Structure 1
């Protein structure tokens, strides 16, 4: 059944998957990369497509101990330079009208550890990866891989590749890159995406472990609710229907959620009720979801019709 899944058949019929999309038509002037919480828009090539961003990034290539990272001493294995030349010759083209200045200033600051020419190329690939995320996940992934190949020691390139791989259904690659981004940048973000990747790899138990980790307690309200939706889905995978309800119940009473996130929680809770056989309660919550859904992104009305048959 559909629900609020973004562009996706990427979860087949798994309920409770993380969704990085906001469909409320909101816009602001921050551009490029993956910033903010769950705030991606697909209609702005200049980085309007955004998702989770971790916290406490180390800018200008500085280590936590104050020493500068060395971005020039790459692996010296045989054929390394030749392979890099080949990779760059095969990387996707960046349209001529894409300017690095369109990238979010904070992300441009992170790229200052790279040479100017290389930083501009990485910026172009990040912008293209963000803009193509919904319409062509394969091309977005290609641009994200190119950004990482050119700037793999800058955390935003690893995070962008992780999100792009997630949208393309490349769960293992997504987890690898998101873990790398978290090691480099710190902070509790990205847990919901990582947990959903674990579900994609048929590891719902590992998804649940992320939901009970110490870092989960550090999430802001929106990230916390998104993680709860994913963890509820993991319990559904394990046929633990009552546990799914218990995970979602605190979020249904939360007063600190953005409207779109509250909408997703309402729908997820209605779905969880339906799966436990509590049909009357499910109808009540699908009705609430329908009333909250002012932009028509959910299939709550269809679900209500199904439950009335």
Structure 2
């Protein structure tokens, strides 16, 4: 890529990054502009996929994230891809993401998000016991919390509550609250509401 093209692409990526939370549609326009000149760059395709995800353009998001993965080999966005499948009404495809051979190589926070999304797909299908089993498959080690444990334990507690296991839900909301250092969740409030 020429220096001029790189500056163009970089400028649009910076704009997309700044706008993604407050104005995802405009962020997506910038990401698409960057893709127009940098389609062979994994970071550009990743940015376009994440902008599309935030703009709720699910099919475009999954296509872009797949392209980014083909280019880079990075599987860190499996959870986002699975969530896109759920949003497109295809929870069965979301379930398959957990069988991806790269799952064991993604970072703990990304793996926690994948477990949450796949368990959510099971919930979409009305399979609460299977959703609980997904959580139990990994990430419930309270002696060794990892990045993302607070959200994982919160989702587990929420699923327990939906399954009518109130006492277990209270305990897990409490455990989620104990490692929620940035107040990402309302775990303590949820536990109190169930008492």
What TM-score do you get using the length of structure 2 for normalisation?
A: 0.92
- Counterpart of 1:208 in structure 2 is 95
Q: Deviations over 1:59-101 (max 9, x none)?
A: xxxxxxxxxxxxxxxxxxxxxxxxxxxxxxxxxxxxxxxxxxx
Q: Distance in 1 between matches of 2:157 and 2:84?
A: 23
- Counterpart of 1:251 in structure 2 is 139
1:167 maps to 2:38: no
Contact 1:221 1:256 in 2 (8 A): no
1:122 maps to 2:25: no
Larger RCO of the pair (alpha carbons < 8 Å, separation 6+): 1
Aligned length: 193
Could you tell me how far 1:134 is from its partner in structure 2? Answer: 1.1
The CA RMSD over aligned residues, in Å, is: 1.6
Could you tell me how far 1:283 is from its partner in structure 2? Answer: 0.9
- Counterpart of 1:299 in structure 2 is 186
The structure with the largest helix share of the pair is 2
Provide structure 1 residue ranges, at least 5 long, that are not aligned to the other structure.
1-113
Q: Deviations over 1:246-288 (max 9, x none)?
A: 1112211173622xx1111111111111111100110111122
Q: Deviations over 1:160-213 (max 9, x none)?
A: 100110111110000111111111111332211101110110111100011112
Provide structure 2 residue ranges, at least 5 long, that are not aligned to the other structure.
none
Could you tell me how far 1:296 is from its partner in structure 2? Answer: 2.5
- Counterpart of 1:225 in structure 2 is 112
The 5 Å alignment of 1:75-154 reads 114-154=1-41
Between stretches 247-256 and 142-151, larger displacement belongs to 247-256
- Counterpart of 2:169 in structure 1 is 282
Q: Distance in 2 between matches of 1:222 and 1:298?
A: 15
What TM-score do you get using the length of structure 1 for normalisation?
A: 0.59
